Structure 1
Amino acid sequence: MAANHLYLVDGSGYIFRAYHRLPPLTNKHGEPVGAVYGYTTMLWKLADELHRADGPTHMAVILDKSSSTFRNAMYDQYKAHRPPPPEDLVPQFPMIRDATRAFSLPCIEEEGWEADDLIASYTRAALAQGWSVTIVSSDKDLMQLMTDPSVDMLDTMNNRRLGPEAVVEKFGVGPDKLGDVLALMGDSVDNVPGVPGVGPKTAAKLILEHGDVEGVLAAAASDTFKKGKLRDNLIEHAEAARLSRKLVELACDVPLEHPLDELVLQGIPEAPLRAFLEHHGFKTLLGRLGQVADAPVEAPASVPFAEDPPCDHDSYETVTTVDSLDRWIAEARAQGFVAIDTETTGTDATRADLVGVSLALGANRACYVPLGHGGSDLLSEVPVQIAREDALARLKDLCEDPAVLKIGHNLKFDMIVLGECGIAVAPHDDTIVMSFDLDAGLHGHGMDELAATHLSHSCIAYKDVVGTGKSQRGFHEIDLKSATRYAAEDADVTYRLWKRFKARLPAEGSTRVYEMVDRPLVPVIAQMERHGIKVDRERLSGLSAEFSGQIAGLETVIHGLAGAPFTIGSPKQLGDILFERMGVKGGRKGKSGVYSTDVTELERIAADKDSAGAEIAARVLDWRQLTKLKNTYTDALQNEINPKTGRVHTSYSLTGAQTGRLSSTEPNLQNIPIRTEIGRQIRDAFIAEPGHVILAADYSQIELRLAAHMADVPQLREAFARGDDIHSLTAQELFGEVTRDTRASAKTINFAILYGISRWGLAGRLDITADEAQAMIDRYFERFPGINRYIAETLTQVRERGFTQTLFGRKTHFARIKSKVQHERQGAERAAINAPIQGTSADIIKRAMVRMTPALREAGLEGTRMLLQVHDELVFEVPDAEVERAREVIGHVMATAAEPAVKLTVPLGVEIGVGASWGAAH
């Protein structure tokens, strides 16, 4: 009979890993469950893998019960610097205990003892009976327990077993001396004092030379020890070292409330686990049991999946011969699909060089093709690789083969990188877009998060491969074994995600938006990013100088108003000036004790003309805007100009905005002020090449037009059909007359209502009382009852289903729509009101972008190129000879972009301007 093998799971470590790994989620009861979900998936994965490995006979999860233990009685500052657990994590602790018991595992915790002490005591008890013990953790304190060969550790984060050799590798001593090393070096997290100036290497050297802490202290007190700061610190902090030795020592004699025999592992009974998962609506996890529940908040699993085997990094192949590459390509062609990923020298796709390509044909059937590995200097060793031109020729045939589907994650990046090598990628599927179309609003869509959420897998971290800080290397400098494990895993995980998402799309009604809107947009965005837009460096430099002068002038004025110089960018100093020195009333302090000086607060003060701080608040707002624009645009844009192309290449995200709008970074072009003179000046720096002009095509009031259609508002539909000024119509309906002031108020109300604004929000916008604002909202709904009905129906549906939908079927989930926290719930409601309208607007402009290039080419407009998409606007660079025809084609494509999938009852207005710069085109 095999010997008993006890597994002790450090549950506290699992909890915090789960909390930080997943975004905030709520269950169908409105309770926060992000950590609960992550913990449950991690525990289930562990149980599955151990079962396959014929692992434990006995198992328990050990948790911390209280923050105060015997160590606090010994040293009242022990763990004193640790912040309290996050507010939304605290209510999840009881649910995590329920999760553990749902797996029918003992959940052990005892007052006055840390989980580490319980683990140590159970380990000693098990060893006394001749058992083997595995501690599921990577905690350095628990490494002290590996003095017996029957004890090891399982690091599930990195999927590896740890023995005594891992302790020697990390700390320079064996487990029997680890406590002494930990005592000397101290621990800032647990506030173990240690000895100042003694790090891991010094501590290990001292212990190896002198045996233990007492030996080190005795040596330091002798005349033979080398004089210097180290000796002085050891003598001065000798008692702190002795105290630290007691603090890091694990208690091995805790009374065992649950005897070892009670920890026997008897499998996972389905009933309690099913009840737990159904209570929280964890649909993906219920799918493993063969049944799904209603109203989940995490990624649904309407299609059951056979579990893939764990990622086996040792199974991945490094392809270094043409024959091997040909074999992989032949297999890809035979099965008709392949997952693909690129490794590069940087994260800017338009500037990075290709280092290698990974392919995956199935779970654990993945490879890495190195193309540019080797050190940065002439003497560095270059590993064996296929000749670059030979590999690229073969990969080009594969990537451009219309019979082979190429699958990528954020494939836009790979399309740009490969495009720079003369390789097009088609046809394609993109798992980041699939995930977004299925689960927008539930979680992020990065590969690491999706692997954790859907595959219960922790991907190798990039920093663990290349390092960080000064020791960081380029990926091209990484040895091929490490590079293959990392790169091939990306392709492997991409394949596994694709298999799940591909089946879910039709089952959950998301095929339409994926196929008609987002999937065909990926190569369009890639081409736009590659082309970029020309920017006038001299114009930007001149603006920076101009802004610097204005900023300096504002600083002088602000200091004069304050009566003394101070750091305007310091919220603390500004708060003290306004609320202490100048006596402004109504100041509010945050938890840090610093007065709030955010934009809302400064606008409040500036609006009160009788306030002593009104003028200074207004000037600070001007100073902040100028400083932000200078730092973000006129300075930064000069650094963003690609030296190879002389153009700026912004990076678009198809998953950056929850409602489906595109977002841009490096640089972010969405935040340039739209209607200010300064914003126009910045746009003037975006220019056309000689012989070309910039054409800007903007949807006119598209969200109001969509609201008229979706809410079925006859007055608005008819007004748009006639081409009336919609804000004047609203002013007439609400105020009985159209003046400059009533039209401005009507314009504010038109847009604010669609964003679910509250009475207090509208009151602040219009500078009226909350009661007056409510009366105005009531009047608006009375005049336009369709809007009120639309809002009510939208909120009813999102509360029932957990998501809203656009006219093209795009879902946006609102996990906090039933939250018991009022401001969270109200925030979700406001966002849900606008999501179908804003999302439909995003879908329409995306459809216009997909159709644009084919329409231009069909019209013979070969020189017209689409450069930018910002809000409701498309920006083009057009040869002088093509302007009039391009204007017609672009206007027609944008106006009819919804058809034939959606037939709108209002026309889509498109305003087009042309000029030498983006600013001039408006």
Structure 2
Amino acid sequence: MKKGDHLFLVDGSGYIFRAYHALPPLTRKSDGLPVGAVSGFCNMLWKLMQNARDTDVGVTPTHFAVIFDYSSHTFRNDLYPEYKANRSAPPEDLIPQFGLIRHATKAFDLPCIEMEGFEADDLIATYARLAHEAGGDTTIISSDKDLMQLVGPTVSMYDPMKDKEIKVPEVIEKWGVPPEKMIDLQALMGDSVDNIPGVPGIGQKTAAQLLEEFGDLDTLLARADEIKQNKRRETLIENREKALMSRELVRLMNDVPDVDALDTLVLQPPNGPKLISFLKTMEFTTLTRRVAEASGTEAAEIEPAHVDVQWGADAHGPDLTAAPVSDPEAASSGDVAPTPEAREAQNTPAALAAARLAEAVAGKVDTTAYTCIRDIATLRAWIEEAREEGVVAFDTETTSLDPMQAELCGFSLAIRPGRAAYVPLIHKSGAGDLLGGGQIEGQIPAREALAALKPLMEDRSVLKIAQNLKYDLVMMHRHGIDVAPYDDTMLISYVLDAGVFGGHGMDALSERWLGHTPIAFKDVCGSGKSLITFDLVDLEKATTYAAEDADVTLRLWRVLKPRLVEKGLVSVYERLERPLVPVLARMEQRGISVDRQILSRLSGDLAQGAAALEDEIYQLAGERFTIGSPKQLGDILFGRMGLPGGSKTKTGQWSTSAQVLEDLAAEGHELPRKIVDWRQLTKLKSTYTDALPGYIHPETKRVHTSYALAATTTGRLSSSEPNLQNIPVRTAEGRKIRTAFIAEPGNLLISADYSQIELRVLAHVADIPQLRQAFADGVDIHAMTASEMFSVPVEGMPGEVRRRAKAINFGIIYGISAFGLANQLSIPREEAGSYIKKYFERFPGIRDYMEATKAFARENGYVETIFGRRAHYPEIRSPNPSIRAFNERASINAPIQGSAADIIRRAMVRMEGALEKAGLENTRMLLQVHDELIFEAPEGEVERAIPVIRDVMENAAMPALSMKVPLHVDARAAHNWDEAH
């Protein structure tokens, strides 16, 4: 440190208590961990750091540190055993936050300083002296009077709560004495908070008057007999030793030995990813967003960090060996037997979940302990050990992410945490001939190894555990193995924490729950041009990577499974998630036929349509340009043509988003309309008609999409490779693409589609009499709504009136605003607002439902479907109005959309059994697209299949609950998907 440098010293311990008492209680939604003080601390520190780095607001620090009390016992207790003895234990919900705040400090990349035997104030005094001697200045971030004795020409204080700087004049104004007399002042007046006796009967004003008259404490005590007031004179004489001792208690030690050098406190540039990782673990979404914006970090790409939690009667510092908060048995001490109540508390699901978590965090992953199984005798011994254990985690290693085309390179097993092995099957040397090298010797032949594994995988007495089980089920089924029973850690996490965390992949779960970062795939197989398939990985690396996957999966299962019981979510997992996995696996294996010729013809038609639009666009623009270039398009629309509503993105370019162009088109501008049409055609061509042939399997000649169960917050499934759920159906071109999905010769496709299921769910959950009656009577719900709202008879109703009612009906489900409805209907915002207002007046129960749902979400951080699935919205209490409003709209929609998703899940789980029972084994479920199921059936089975399918779907909610409105399914059969829909 040199002359001109500036040191900021934060009184961390003072910050903790100010943050705790200044804010309402706050708990982490995922597990109830108290984090209110941590939140306040982080927000105060972030604000301070931002201001400190802003050169326009004043002092900019070059050095920075946060100072904490190490523990309650210091040298002052040796001097006066009653020092601070009157202090009660910290509040129970504050105890685990002490350690978390130290983690927070390190996440901010700031020195976190504490020293056994000394208080934070002593360290602050020492650093302030060292900075002064080095020619620098110091600002102490605190309002504690104990630190005011340090204020001087090079030392000031700053109260962040009041945004007030404290220098010599402020000390005098507050206490009546300058900083150099604060020690004597406190020695006289004492401190009831710290149990410093002082001189009885001498308060602040009296002490200040005495020091002004006599100069200092020593002089005052030496001349105490000169004091005219008898009682005051006598008490000073009688309590002389107390005053002197009190002075030693309040005097800060500015020569604490062996402190870190000032140069170690240099303020570093902010580390956005490191801080965001901690904040995401704490679930501080608002601050996470602010840090991401300020640091230019993409928060979605940062995984939460693992942070240990300490719990103890005095969990102030790292010297404590307190057990994690998750271990209920650690609270007991000595040999005292637990009470019956304590024993009962230890035998709860919450206690088991907590104990498992503590065990998992403590049990470090040792990747050097894994076994590579290369002979059949060893494999059989492991299989027998797994059978004895009754639980085994397994994973497959393959050459591709597509389970329908991947080769099985090997499989891994984990029997107990740390007891894991890999069985290589077809690994090659990777060099030696034109084919990439021969197969490595000493591997069990695949057929022999799988024959030994099959009885274990199909043994009903052994639970198999996997992460993203569906992939492994497909791989195993292709090799003649039907795995059962099973658990999927990804789906357990999804049921527990949908919407809480960014994802449910194994790496993220491992870091979150085990504090362990697994080996990355790219570190084993490379990336980009150096990427190799897993069969070319050498056996040592392959064993470490693959066995770790199984080991981590087993450890995660032990942590997560008890939480299902603790949170009351067992039925959601057992009825909506786990049984759907094999159903989807079979659907993916079946695939669906696609006509290449139809796609080729459609590609040609779309190309011609796009080319015609291009000519029109060039004529309207008055020049040729690259239509797909947002920059060139923006320059023409808003630069040269000067169209209204232009705004620029962060890169300085004009925004040409779909919404911007739609708005311009709605205002009557022709060029933006043509651009929208051109984009739609070119997207259909590139995404579907050109791309779909590439997804046709070389052997099955069918397209096999992949379904994701844990991709949405509400429980809706999504599909990929290819995505068949986003094929547009509202345009003629989009519907033509569906004509390419065909039935095999002698078969028909059956489309079974729920009719207005989300409106029916809304009528059920909000209990709207008019809607319930309309659905019961089978009337046109949109016409009925229009009649209710606009007093127009249903008979002969104009199509425009019904269209408006339909837009409102569906818009209400998604929390549409007047602005959104106005855009959708191309009407003034005031008119749209009046429609919404009138809608709520006619159907008051809907507003009641919305307000009740938002209130529930604000209190609990989640909402529930009618079957108990939870969708979490942790940012619903965000101070940012737009973020809060978005979460409110999402929380209103989630119980409706999620309940509809749960209903179709229940139907899918039952469907295959119902078809088999009806003797319709050849009718096969192929696709699920939102509220629709697509089947392929022999022409001779169609008439019998449709009633069975419709019955299963319409009664899917039973027997869990009886819907207040009937569900209705439209089902048709045809040779292609479009005709059947």
Give the alignment's TM-score, normalised by structure 1: 0.70
One-letter identity of the residue aligned with 2:455:
D
Instruction: Give the equivalent residue in structure 1 for 2:661.
Output: 602
* Structure 1 equivalent of residue 121 of structure 2: none
Tell me which amino acid in the other structure corresponds to 2:480. Answer: G
Q: Does 1:304 align with 2:358?
A: no
Paired residues of 1:711 and 1:786 also in contact (CA < 8 A): yes
Q: Give the Cα separation in 1 of the matches to 2:494 and 2:800.
A: 42
Q: Given that residues 749 and 762 in structure 1 are in contact (C-alpha distance below 8 angstroms), is that contact kept between their aligned partners in structure 2?
A: yes
2:848 is aligned with 1:789: yes
- After superposing the two structures, state which structure 1 stretch, 758-767 or 788-797, moved more: 758-767
User: 1:585-617 deviations in whole A, cap 9, x for unaligned?
Assistant: 2211112111111011101111112xxxx1110
Partner residue in 2 for 1:828? 887
User: Which residue number in structure 1 is paired with residue 808 of structure 2?
Assistant: 749
Q: Distance in 2 between matches of 1:716 and 1:626?
A: 38
Q: Give the direction of change, closer, same or farther, for the CA distance of 1:883–1:589 in structure 2 (3 Å limit).
A: same
**What residue number does 2:382 align with?**
328
Task: Give the alignment partner of residue 555 of structure 2, picking from 471, 475, 496.
Answer: 496
| Residue type at the aligned position of 2:785 | T
Q: In the alignment, which residue of structure 2 is the partner of 1:431?
A: 489
1:620 CA displacement: 0.5
- Superposition deviation, residue 285 in structure 1: 7.3
**Structure 2: which amino acid aligns with 1:764?**
N
Q: Which has the higher contact order (CA 8 A, sep 6+)?
A: 1
Deviation of 1:287 after TM superposition, in Å, equals 2.6
Residue 777 (structure 1) shift: 1.5
Equivalent position to 1:591, from 636, 647, 650? 650
1:761 alignment counterpart? 820
Offset, 1:772: 2.3
Amino acid at match of 1:373: H
Partner of 2:734: 679
Is 1:340–1:358's contact at 8 Å kept on the other side of the alignment? yes
- Give the whole-Å Cα distance in 1 for the aligned partners of 2:564 and 2:525: 36
Alignment of 1:830-869 (within 5 A): 830-869=889-928
Displacement of 1:255 in angstroms is: 3.8
Given that 1:356 and 1:369 are in contact with CA atoms closer than 8 Å, whether structure 2 keeps it comes out as: yes
Q: Aligned-pair distance for 1:768?
A: 2.6
Matched AA of 1:317: T
Contact in 2 for aligned 1:745/1:766 (Cα 8 Å):
yes
Q: Supply the distance in 1 between the matched residues of 2:324 and 2:937 (Cα, whole angstroms).
A: 53
State how far apart, in whole Å, the 1-side matches of 2:110 and 2:325 are.
Answer: 19
- Classify the secondary structure of the residue corresponding to 1:307: helix
Per the alignment, do residues 302 and 736 of structure 1 end up closer, same or farther by CA in structure 2, a change over 3 Å counting? farther
State the one-letter code of the partner of 1:499. Answer: R
Contact 1:31 1:820 survives alignment (8 Å): no
| Structure 1 residue 711 corresponds to structure 2 residue 766 | yes
Q: CA RMSD in A?
A: 3.3
Instruction: Report the Cα offset of residue 771 of structure 1.
Output: 2.7
Structure 1 pair 672–273 and aligned structure 2 pair: CA distance change class (3 A): farther
Contact 1:699 1:909 in 2 (8 A): yes
Q: What does residue 438 of structure 2 align with?
A: 380
Deviation, 1:337, is 1.5
* Contact kept in structure 1, 2:428 and 2:437, CA below 8 Å: no
Q: Tell whether the 8 Å contact from 1:399 to 1:406 is kept in structure 2 after alignment.
A: yes
CA distance 1:303–1:108, change in 2 (3 Å): closer
Alignment of 1:807 onto 2:859: no
Quote how far apart the aligned CAs of 1:375 are.
4.0
The change in CA–CA distance for 1:273 and 1:693 in structure 2 (over 3 A counts) is farther
- Seen in structure 2, the aligned counterparts of structure 1 residues 827 and 645 have a Cα distance that, compared at 3 Å, is same
Q: 2:369 aligns with which of 315, 322, 326?
A: 315
Give the superposition deviation at 1:538: 1.1
Give the letter for the 1:310 counterpart: K
CA distance in 2, matches of 1:268, 1:836: 34
2:394 is equivalent to residue 340 of structure 1: yes
% identical equivalent positions: 52
Largest Rg, 1 or 2: 2
Give the corresponding residue for 1:566. 625
Match of 1:287 in 2: 326
Question: Please, which of 699, 718, 736 is the counterpart of residue 644 of structure 1?
Answer: 699
Q: Which of 445, 448, 463 in structure 2 is aligned with 1:390?
A: 448
Residue identity in the other structure for 1:337: V
Provide the rounded CA distance (Å) in 2 between the counterparts of 1:64 and 1:254: 22
1:695 corresponds to which residue?
750
Instruction: Give the TM-score taking structure 2 as reference length.
Output: 0.66
Question: How much has 1:890 moved relative to structure 2?
Answer: 0.4
- Tell me the SS of whatever aligns to 2:423: strand
**CA displacement 1:540-563 (0-9 Å, x = unmatched):** 111111111111111111111111
Report the AA paired with residue 398 of structure 1.
L
Residue pairs, 1:95-110, within 5 angstroms? 99-100=104-105, 107=112
Does the C-alpha gap of structure 1 residues 255 and 592 become closer, same or farther in structure 2, counting only changes over 3 Å?
A: closer
- State the one-letter code of the partner of 2:798: T
1:481-560 aligned within 5 A:
481-560=540-619
Q: Out of 772, 775, 789, which is 1:734 matched to?
A: 789
CA–CA distance in 2 between the matches of 1:268 and 1:409? 26
Q: Which residue of 2 aligns with 1:229?
A: none
Report how far residue 865 of structure 1 moved. Answer: 0.5
Counterpart of 2:345 in structure 1 is none
User: Could you say which residue in structure 2 is the equivalent of 1:182?
Assistant: none
Contact preservation (8 Å) 2:648, 2:655: yes
| Aligned 8 A contact 2:390 2:462 in 1 | yes
Q: Which runs of 5+ in 2 are unaligned?
A: 1-24, 39-48, 56-98, 115-259, 267-307, 332-349
- Which residue number in structure 2 is paired with residue 905 of structure 1? 964
| CA distance in 2 between partners of 1:64 and 1:317 (Å) | 51
- Identify which of 388, 400, 411 aligns with 1:357: 411
For 1:795 and 1:861, locate their aligned partners in 2 and report how far apart those are by CA, in whole Å.
45
Q: Deviations over 1:300-355 (max 9, x none)?
A: 99643242311111111111111111111111111211111100000011110111
| 1:589 partner letter | K
**Secondary structure, counterpart of 2:700 in structure 1:** coil
Letter in 1 for 2:701: G
> Distance between the aligned counterparts of 1:750 and 1:458, measured in 2?
48
SS at match of 2:977: coil
Contact kept, 8 Å, 1:336 with 1:404, in 2: the verdict is yes
Partner of 1:408: 466
Deviation at 1:472, TM superposition (A): 1.6
Q: CA deviation at 1:680?
A: 1.3
Q: 2:947 aligns with which of 870, 873, 888?
A: 888
Q: Is this contact kept in 2: 1:338–1:406, CA < 8 A?
A: yes
AA in 2 matched with 1:701: Q
1:695–1:876 Cα contact (<8 Å) kept? yes
Q: Match of 1:906, as an amino acid?
A: V
The answer to whether the 8 A contact 2:30-2:497 is kept is: no
1:625 Cα deviation after fit: 0.6
Q: Contact conserved, 1:313 with 1:485, CA < 8 A, in 2?
A: yes
- CA displacement, residues 799-846 of structure 1 (integer Å, 9 cap, x when unaligned): 111100011110000011111111111111110001001111111101
Paired residues of 1:274 and 1:286 also in contact (CA < 8 A): no
Aligned length: 682
Note the 1:71-90 alignment, pairs <5 A: none
- Aligned equivalent of 2:85: none
Checking the alignment, whether the CA contact within 8 Å between 1:692 and 1:880 is kept in structure 2 is yes
Q: Deviations over 1:483-520 (max 9, x none)?
A: 01111111111111111221011110111111111110
Q: Deviations over 1:604-663 (max 9, x none)?
A: 111112xxxx11100100111111111111011010001011000000000111100000
1:630 aligns with 2:681: no
Contact 2:374 2:423 in 1 (8 A): yes
Distance in 2 (alpha carbons) for counterparts of 1:290 and 1:776: 60
Deviations 1:181-230 (A, max 9, x none): xxxxxxxxxxxxxxxxxxxxxxxxxxxxxxxxxxxxxxxxxxxxxxxxxx
Correspondences of 1:227-246 after superposition (within 5 Å): none
Q: Report SS of the residue matched to 2:874.
A: coil
CA pair 274-582 structure 1, distance change in 2 beyond 3 A: farther
Letter in 1 for 2:578: R
